[in-house]
Amino acid sequence: MRVSIDKSSIKGEVFAPPSKSYTHRAVTLAALSKESTVGRPLISADTLATVRASEMFGASVEREEDRLIIHGINGKPNVPDDVIDAANSGTTLRFMTAVAALTDGITVLTGDASLRTRPNGPLLEVLNQLGVKACSTRGNERAPLVVKGGLKGQDASIDGSISSQFISALLITCPLAENSTTLYITGKLKSRPYVDVTLEMLELAGIKVHVDDSNGTRFIIPGKQKYDFKDYTVPGDFSSASYLLAAAAMTSESEVTVKNLFPSKQGDKVIIEILRQMGADITWDKEAGNVTVRGGRQLKAITFDAGATPDLVPTVAVLAAVAEGTSRIVNAEHVRYKETDRLRALATELPKLGVDLKEERDSLTITGGKLRGASVHGWDDHRIVMALSIAGIVAGNTTVDTTESVSISYPDFFKDMRSLGAKMEKVSEELS
């Protein structure tokens, strides 16, 4: 679907949508427990993929007003009676590939065209070290994947430089293995805050994991543990909030408060520091959970290391496009393995809006200036669509296509932006 966007300032208050990452974990841990409720879950295409997969492993999930009631499988997943389709969700595919290792049969997992291009090699390799038979049908480490259960647990090492989801997936399932596992991380662990979110949730479920960062990183995971995840309420999502906060910072006369943003292990809370560093007028009332941004200040260029927080790259790239000076987004190679190659996508679309940008293997160099309206492509990637959309309220006279992809993480993005006064109107339905 194409949306047309005109110059706008935005004013008002919006609740941050629930966190996608916390919702995935809450549903997965609840499914491995006996009985749990998950309050204020994000209901989006990605998290529904995790719900469906959990049900295929034998859990039952009922939706009651603003919570999910989950009857879990108490650590023993059934062999699914059909292929598990993770759709567009990398988190679902990785987590459920590891859950499949706990069954006493064979599970096939697939995804949409985008997900079937994303790498899973390190996860497959380490599962085979841990007593599982795991492979990809095409022999290219990409979904469709086939997993024959038999997770034993032992010492193993895994490359952490491609995706932290492989590590989170193992932290979730190895506690249920026969034996203990020590997981040694090789390479530079990227997206570490997401592992910290996993560890936080495991502790809530009564699962013990010892983290040793003294000489490199290793996780010591005792086996034969039991999940006891209880009632949980999902916090607000800083990655989704980043678009609202950045939009306000880039447009004069804007004043926006995003609510439901409390101190969190989410790495993407750093968007507040980034905006402050760029000179934005931003305040965070941590007790009330309110972040307020007032627009109108000239933003200044920054250097942003994307190693820990890859999902902020589209937001920061657009901020850099209007900032005074030259910004660098570095340590970003793993941002190429998301729904799209996001460095490539941004390097293709932002110049159409008049942005001076240079793409290198693991970085973008962006010199800020005046944006001009253009017709840009969203690459069927929710984060590219939302970043280009907020660029559109600065540039004016802009259209963005494939906007239905916001259903992945922030289904109400356009509704919320319009409620704040953004001029964003649906133009057409693409023939898909």
Ligand X SMILES: O=C(O)C1=C[C@@H](OP(=O)(O)O)[C@@H](O)[C@H](O)C1
Ligand Y SMILES: C=C(OP(=O)(O)O)C(=O)O
Cα 374 from chain centroid? Answer: 28
Is residue 3 a contact partner of residue 378, using CB atoms and an 8 Å limit?
no
Neighbours of 69 (CB within 10 A): 15
Nearer to ligand Y, 377 or 383 (CB): 383
Per CB under 6 A, 90 contacts ligand Y:
yes
Closest to 127 in 3D by CA, of 148, 108, 111:
148
Q: Which of 196, 237, 311, 401 binds ligand Y (CB under 6 A)?
A: 311
Long-range (24+ apart) CB contacts under 8 A made by 74-80 are 74/32, 74/33, 74/34, 74/226, 74/227, 75/32, 75/102, 75/176, 75/226, 75/227, 76/102, 77/31, 77/32, 77/102, 77/103, 78/103, 79/103, 79/104, 79/105, 79/106, 79/107, 79/149, 80/56, 80/107
Per CB under 6 A, 91 contacts ligand Y:
yes
Per CB under 6 A, 379 contacts ligand X:
no
Strand partners for 282: 293
Rounded CA Rg of the chain? 21
The count of chain residues that interact with ligand Y, using the rule CB under 6 A, is 9
Which range in 75-83, 187-195, 260-268, 269-277 contacts ligand X by CB under 6 A? 187-195
Per CB under 6 A, 237 contacts ligand Y:
no
The least distance separating ligand Y from the CB of residue 195, rounded to whole angstroms, comes to 14
Which range in 88-96, 145-153, 213-221, 418-426 contacts ligand Y by CB under 6 A? 88-96
94 is in an annotated binding site: no
The least distance separating ligand X from the CB of residue 338, rounded to whole angstroms, comes to 6
Per CB under 6 A, 383 contacts ligand Y:
yes
Nearer to ligand Y, 306 or 395 (CB): 306
The least distance separating ligand X from the CB of residue 311, rounded to whole angstroms, comes to 5
The least distance separating ligand X from the CB of residue 381, rounded to whole angstroms, comes to 11
Q: What does each C-alpha distance from 334 to 14, 201, 341 come to in angstroms?
A: 31, 24, 9
Per CB under 6 A, 33 contacts ligand X:
no
Amino acid at 413: F
118 is in an annotated binding site: yes
Per CB under 6 A, 310 contacts ligand X:
yes
The least distance separating ligand Y from the CB of residue 198, rounded to whole angstroms, comes to 13
Q: Is 311 a catalytic residue?
A: yes
Q: Residues near 431 by Cβ (< 8 Å), separated by ≥ 6?
A: none
Positive or negative CA dihedral for 430, 404, 341, 27?
negative
Q: Which residues are annotated as a binding site for phosphoenolpyruvate?
A: 20, 90, 118, 165, 342, 383
Q: Which residues are annotated as a binding site for 3-phosphoshikimate?
A: 20-21, 25, 163-165, 191, 311, 338
Q: Point out which residues bind ligand X (CB under 6 A).
A: 21, 24, 91, 163-165, 168, 190-191, 194, 310-311, 334, 338
Q: Any idea which residues carry the catalytic annotation? A: 311
